[in-house]
Amino acid sequence: MASSSTPKYNSNSLENSSSKRTLKDGTNWEQNEEIPRLPGETRVTDKDVIYMCPFNGPVKGRVLLFTLIFSLLELLLQDPVVILNVPLGVISRIEKMGGASSRGENSYGLDITCKDMRNLRFALKQEGHSRRDIFEVLTKYAFPQSHNLLFFAFVNEEKFSENGWMVYNPMSEYRRQVSYYSCHCLVQLSHLPACIEEFLLSTVGRGWNCNLKKKTAFLYRSCGYLSVFFIALYVILEKCHQPLVGMSGKRNKDDERYLDIIREANGQVSKLTIYDARPNVNAVANKATGGGYEGEDAYPNAELFFLDIHNIHVMRESLKKLKDIVYPNVEESHWLSSLESTHWLEHIKLVLTGAIQVADKVSSGRSSVLVHCSDGWDRTAQLTSLAMLMLDSYYRTIEGFEVLVQKEWISFGHKFASRIGHGDKNHADTDRSPIFLQFIDCVWQMSKQ
């Protein structure tokens, strides 16, 4: 195991030694005199509200909005008191409930949709503009990107003993994988067979789906997405985007030669194995927009397999359906059929099955493997990181898992901000998708089954 230590989160900044229990909606029952704060956090506003708890009914309380956390302190004459904490980064959407003409008890207030599957509703009095004040301030701090404010990580003043960005060091990680002796480091993020010439690399990227500038494409398309894991001599696990074949069947001789060199570097098998994460029909359809897949004519020394994993839009809709059946109430009588209708576990199964195929081909088959989807930073990251988790016990340690996430997800360009919607108020953005959440679910399934 590498000797570098990693930053540890100080939980004492968020809670004290008081006893507490957590309800289904995340409510903490604590014996506190005041709400704990994160370092550097300041109170912005507080208002009287009624929390419409889906389990216990309406409860009077007081909303306290800090620069990092939105809290509800229930002011009932009870012991212990109730504190509902909602980190601002968890908030996905804020909507006004009711209007000036609304009648009926608790029909005027705010609805808050969270990324952790909670839906929170607060009723307020119509007089005094309290709803407007809370809505404006909460929207401002929950969505800093939309209001030109700093993100939470730059506001939190907690001190860490180590620099978390240094958890993953590319050179240290490659040195740890000492089995691949015949490679030298061409760029910081890539190891490649020494026989690949620079002029070839500078042109390979043109045959792949990449919207980056030429220099960046050289680093990340031609090099950085390839040769990221070595389990035995000359056995390589690679990752990339789809090739730009199009309807006309365009070919790129340099790219074809490049993959052939990767195959030849192995010497133990006659073909390079390519796993395309997409369903076959989707890969064919991508030709209409200039994409495609590796055909037999252009890549006679490669074998191609489709893993039938659907795209980000299918996963987003699947999670929405899952949320509908688990919060706030679970209908026990139709639970299994309702769960099946979400297709969430089916998607988890397909991702895990694909990762198993990749790991088995590298480990048992001693074959070099190329993995890609449409863009190379969603399904591809899931497959390669899960396969590495299966192949290398180091990644199953806390430090190793941190290295794995930073290497396979962050350094290779997974769009965390777009997929999760960090700081952005556009709840309906079609780029949002639970790709990393799905990966974490896969890891949980691996650890439990």
The answer to the question of whether 410 is labelled as a binding residue is no
Distance CA 262, CA 269 (A): 11
The answer to the question of whether 373 is labelled as a binding residue is yes
Q: Is residue 373 annotated as a catalytic residue, yes or no?
A: yes
Q: Helices (H), strands (E): how many in the chain?
A: 14, 16
The answer to the question of whether 378 is labelled as a binding residue is yes
Give kind and range of the element (H or E) at residue 153: helix 152-155
- DSSP structural state of residue 219: I
The answer to the question of whether 312 is labelled as a binding residue is yes
Using a 10 angstrom Cβ sphere, with 0-12 exposed, 13-18 middle and 19 or more buried, the burial of residue 361 is buried
The answer to the question of whether 48 is labelled as a binding residue is no
Distance CA 401, CA 406 (A): 9
Q: What is the CB neighbour count within 10 angstroms for residue 440?
A: 11
The answer to the question of whether 377 is labelled as a binding residue is yes
Token pair for 62 = 């007081």
Token pair for 129 = 């503009």
69's CB contacts (< 8 A; 6+ apart) are 37, 38, 41, 85, 86, 87, 88
Q: Which among 274, 243, 278 has a CA at the least distance from the CA of 379?
A: 278
Q: What is the CB neighbour count within 10 angstroms for residue 271?
A: 15
CA-to-CA dists, residue 425 to 178, 331, 417, angstroms: 46, 32, 12
Q: Which among 127, 114, 124, 128 has a CA at the least distance from the CA of 84?
A: 114
Token pair for 413 = 């360009």
CB 370 within 8 A of CB 262: yes
> Which position among 114, 240, 373, 442 bears the catalytic label?
373
Give kind and range of the element (H or E) at residue 354: helix 344-363
CB 28 within 8 A of CB 22: yes
Task: Mark the binding-site residues for substrate, compressed into ranges.
Answer: 311-312, 373-379
Task: Mark the binding-site residues, compressed into ranges.
Answer: 311-312, 373-379
Residues that are catalytic: 373
